Amino acid sequence: MSEQRSRVSVSRDVPIAMRDGTRLYADLYRPEVDRRYPVLLQRTPYNKTVETWPKTNFRPSPAFLASCGYAVIIQDVRGRFKSEGEYDPYKRDAEDGYDTVQWAAAQPWSSGKVGMFGGSYMGATQFLAASAKPPALQALFPYFTGSSHYDTWVYAGGAFNLLTRFTWVVRMMVDTAARKGSGMPKPLKELAEAMAELRKSASAEAGSDVAELERGIVALLSRLLNPVPLRELPIPEELGGYFFDWLDHWKDDGYWQRINTENEYGRIRLPMLHIGGWYDEFARSTLDNYVGFSRHLASEAGRVSQKLIMGPWIHGSFSRNIGDVDFGPEIDESERYINDLNAAYFDYWLKGIDNGYAETPPVRLFIMGVNRWRDEREWPLARTDYQSWYVHSDGTANEARGGGWLSPEPPVDEPPDQYAYDPDHPVQTNGGNILRIGMNIGPCDQRRDTPRDDVLSYVSKPLEADMEVTGYIKMKLWAATDAEDTDFTAKLIDVYPDGTEINIQDGVIRASFRESLADPHPVEPGRVYAYEIDLWATSQLFFKGHRIKLELSSSNFPRFNRNLNTFGPPAEQRDVRIARQTIYHDTIRPTHILLPVIPGAEPNDRQKRDDQ
């Protein structure tokens, strides 16, 4: 990190002309000493004015970076807040990013070298700018950000990410409505105001206020998200029409490919520091970006120019307390660590300072459960022992009937499990990789007051030794349905000796997307298919005495839109039917979850184990 801190001056609303004459406005932070500095650029749709950012907003702050010897530009993207033009997510961010980078490099206070930084949307604007190859762009620092915007951001396994995308659009509509001088529908205005207040209260850590706000938001969402077809959701076309574009493009087609970062893995050859969270909605994307960009570089060059940090975090937060879990004191200094690391990273790449950054390990992982950081040389870990854990039952694995069991032993001749999935009574979302918008988020106790017959539960015996699971998780499922389309969901859970059940990861597959996200086909009712459910990735130490639980069902609402058990675009489907599902686990159809087990997991910390 730069040793000498500088006093900082701020210039507000600096106009930057794009190639089509549209002016985008930025705030500029510079050291007061008048000389040339490397430039750090962030392009945001969430308001460039730092004073409006909640405490929990993405760090580091522009004033801090400027004090380290950088000219820092925070720019409103096209059509947002002070900037001119019409807003359409990502549509012009490649060209506008290129133009802004080159403008910054040409300024008299610039050294000619530009880096970009930021999380979530501000990570995507980095990748899009880099795809246009502006010559002055030298390094990227993306965190909590996406790769395939189709498969993770808007859809997952073919299912629509209803909760996060609906609430995100409502948030974005506030500025659009103000710009156009038009009002928002009353329930959406109430939701937007409640979510804004929640962000403020969460920043102030006002526990009782947060709980009350969350209850109100859940009540609002329960009314707003129920309509079918999804075309009838109350989003005005003139304020958030791109929401319906997403619904119309329900397959992974050219609409999505134009902004797919995965297409750039072999083209963008810039240094990157990737940061993500195990409970972030972009957890898998962060890992995919690190692997994808590293793969196209020579091994030694890749180790220096691509680095990865994965914490236990939810989207955009470096807090130690997430959901129902306290991740311990090693998380307490995360925000300061990220601030300092950001400066050290850019000092190395933009100033050429030999500060030891190049020698730091390429991968740093937070191992949940034992709650410790560990450095690694690669991702996924080369020493991984992939183990199949199989589901078993006597045909009564339904949660309401006692459940089945999970073990490393393959099944023999066992009867299948069956349940009825009714879209009018879906399994409710409880935690997981969603945004903080009023629902339970991250790791949450999964115990239900009333067991459900449409949830299959498979639980292992208490573990005889600690077991670390670090890496990608896949579910291989043999199943049949009497519908032409349906969903299958899977959830991995850590069961504590006292009965607490904490979700680790989950996933979904829409049956019609079983072979291709670009070319879905209905299923043949009654036919058995082999499905793969992607549960993304984790790093979790299951302690001795804990049990591993796997839940299977057909809904996770409102995180994902309900499959009505009919085939077609979700925007148009309105006919609801009950589907009867059959899950097979026998010698020729051995349904199982593939766990990335790390041999020689670090020894038990006695105090940690006692706390579990």
Measure the CA–CA gap between 516 and 533, rounded to whole angstroms: 13
Tokens encoding 438: 């009023």
Non-local (6+) Cβ contacts of 63 within 8 A are 8, 10, 29, 50, 72
**3-class DSSP state of 203:** helix
Neighbours of 375 (CB within 10 A): 10
Measure the CA–CA gap between 554 and 398, rounded to whole angstroms: 13
| Contact status, residue 36 vs residue 109, Cβ threshold 8 Å | yes
Cα–Cα nearest to 492, from 471, 510, 512: 471
Give the strand pairing for 272-277 and 306-311: parallel
**Could you give the residue numbers annotated as active site?**
120, 280, 315
Long-range contacts of 377-382 (CB under 8 A, 24+ apart): 377/303, 379/287, 379/290, 379/291, 379/308, 380/291, 380/471, 380/472, 380/596, 381/470, 381/471, 381/596, 381/598
Cα–Cα nearest to 280, from 156, 152, 168, 368: 152
| Contact status, residue 585 vs residue 393, Cβ threshold 8 Å | yes
Looking up tokens 């999964």, which residue turns up? Answer: 446
Measure the CA–CA gap between 9 and 7, rounded to whole angstroms: 7
| Contact status, residue 40 vs residue 64, Cβ threshold 8 Å | no
| Contact status, residue 293 vs residue 265, Cβ threshold 8 Å | yes
Measure the CA–CA gap between 522 and 485, rounded to whole angstroms: 6
